[in-house]
């Protein structure tokens, strides 16, 4: 099957692993950036797993307020990524902005236990997401700069695995601390401060940024139309694939709703996301390594097959076994696709515009996820959970056809 294979000599990388690169292994900086992501995710998820309950039960906020806070927070992060990625291209430096983003997020963590009102928590959450937006695109561009061209899949897969470990360790630690402290929210929030500052310390002092290529011209205006054209047709096809992928999968919140719908008790509902993230973490790095050796398009197609199977199980098997099967398949889909899509962006984008490339990619896929979740919610209200997941199955199959068509077109273009 044809795939996303870029030719040598164009400064955009390739998807095959050279023997020397394979023997050398991943650079130290890739591992450090992975642990940076993991520690910050542990901190953030310890807080975010409890924040909605804390807002409603302790501070007396409405569920509408909770939804407003989360919507504004995620929109802020998506929009900020565009500007931070472009700024990293203009400066020719990635680490400074990535460290600034992690530092800003770390500084907001003490505000959560200290906040005396909902207004303070809104401000803390907003600044935290600004930090996420600032660091996202420059960090991914820095990974692309550090990683050998033949190990990009493994590099992004490792970061995604470690990041996802943080996504399930954080809530588990929060649950354990809440049990141990008899629901002391403030103490849990204070404990979450520690991994956040460790994350910032790692990127500030343990990551070395490669020196910029002196022959590379500075990018004067990464957000103008000329720069958008310079990203090239291969890159924009990758963005299109990413958007279609995202439209085929909606928010994981619907997995939780399905768990409640089949009768899972409230105490065990969080286990759904824990299971999904465990599978995600275990599969992302092997998938990245494999993608450096075989066709990336084939693995992405397999990921869509897993997503379609997950939707089918969740739609037609309204019991605990069907839920578990669907969640495991959903996690496999995430592991086989998310790191690979980042590697494809790194492969396709010119080195001088990598920050901007990740910024655009994150923005468009973020908007697609919002649209997909709105559509899923409307279908749920109109037709119930089976209708939502069967529609997801249809979107996944359409995305699979589109992926194969775009992949074949790219292969023909590269010949």
Residue 267 pLDDT exceeds 80: no
Residue 11 pLDDT exceeds 90: no
The Cα 78–Cα 289 span in angstroms is 28
Most confidently predicted of 19-23, 262-266, 267-271, 278-282: 278-282
Phi–psi pair at 106, nearest 5 degrees: -65, -40
Residue 116 pLDDT exceeds 60: yes
| pLDDT tens readout for residues 170-199 | 888 888 888 898 878 889 899 999 999 999
Q: Where in the chain is the domain with CATH 1.20.1250.20?
A: 27-210, 223-415
Residue 7 pLDDT exceeds 60: no
Average pLDDT rounded to a whole number, residues 388-400? 87
Q: What pTM was computed for the model?
A: 0.74
Q: What is the SS3 string spanning 130-160?
A: HHHHHHHHHHHHHHHHHCCHHHHHHHHHHHH
CATH for the stretch 27-210:
1.20.1250.20
- pLDDT confidence of residue 251: 72
Yes or no: domain 223-415 corresponds to CATH 3.40.50.150: no
Average pLDDT over the chain, rounded to an integer: 80
Tokens representing residue 143 in the block: 């990974």
């Amino acid at each position: 099957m044809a795939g996303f294979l870029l030719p040598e000599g164009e400064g955009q990388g390739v998807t095959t692993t050279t023997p020397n690169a394979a023997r050398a292994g991943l650079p130290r900086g890739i591992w450090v950036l992975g642990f940076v992501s993991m520690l910050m995710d542990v901190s953030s998820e310890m807080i975010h797993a409890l924040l909605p309950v804390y807002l409603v039960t302790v501070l007396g906020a409405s569920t509408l307020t909770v939804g407003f806070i989360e919507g504004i927070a995620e929109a802020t992060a998506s929009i900020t990524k565009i500007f931070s990625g472009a700024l990293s291209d203009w400066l020719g430096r990635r680490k400074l902005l990535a460290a600034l983003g992690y530092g800003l997020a770390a500084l907001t963590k003490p505000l959560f236990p200290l906040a005396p009102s909902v207004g303070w928590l809104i401000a803390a959450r907003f600044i935290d997401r600004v930090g996420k937006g600032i660091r996202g695109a420059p960090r991914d561009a820095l990974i692309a700069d550090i990683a050998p061209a033949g190990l990009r899949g493994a590099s992004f897969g490792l970061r995604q695995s470690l990041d996802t470990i943080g996504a399930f360790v954080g809530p588990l630690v929060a649950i354990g601390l809440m049990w141990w402290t008899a629901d002391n929210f403030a103490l849990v929030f204070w404990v979450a401060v520690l991994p956040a500052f460790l994350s910032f310390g790692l990127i500030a002092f343990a990551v070395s940024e490669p020196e910029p290529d002196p022959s590379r011209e500075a990018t004067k205006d990464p957000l103008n139309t000329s720069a958008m054209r310079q990203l090239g047709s291969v890159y924009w096809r990758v963005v299109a694939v990413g958007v279609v992928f995202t439209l085929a999968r909606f928010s994981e919140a619907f997995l939780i709703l399905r768990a409640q719908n089949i009768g899972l008790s409230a105490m065990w509902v969080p286990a759904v996301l824990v299971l999904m993230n465990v599978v995600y973490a275990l599969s992302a790095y092997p998938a990245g390594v494999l993608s450096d050796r075989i066709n990336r398009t084939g693995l992405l197609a397999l990921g869509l097959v897993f997503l379609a199977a997950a939707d089918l199980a969740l739609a037609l098997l309204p019991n605990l076994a069907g839920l578990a099967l669907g969640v495991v398949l959903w996690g496999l889909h995430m592991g086989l696709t998310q790191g690979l899509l980042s590697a494809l962006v790194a492969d396709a984008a010119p080195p001088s515009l990598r920050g901007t490339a990740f910024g655009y990619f994150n923005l468009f896929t973020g908007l697609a996820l919002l649209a997909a979740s709105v559509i899923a919610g409307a279908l749920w209200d109109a037709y119930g959970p089976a209708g939502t997941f069967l529609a997801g199955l249809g979107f996944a199959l359409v995305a699979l056809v589109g992926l194969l068509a775009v992949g074949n077109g790219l292969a023909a273009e590269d010949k």
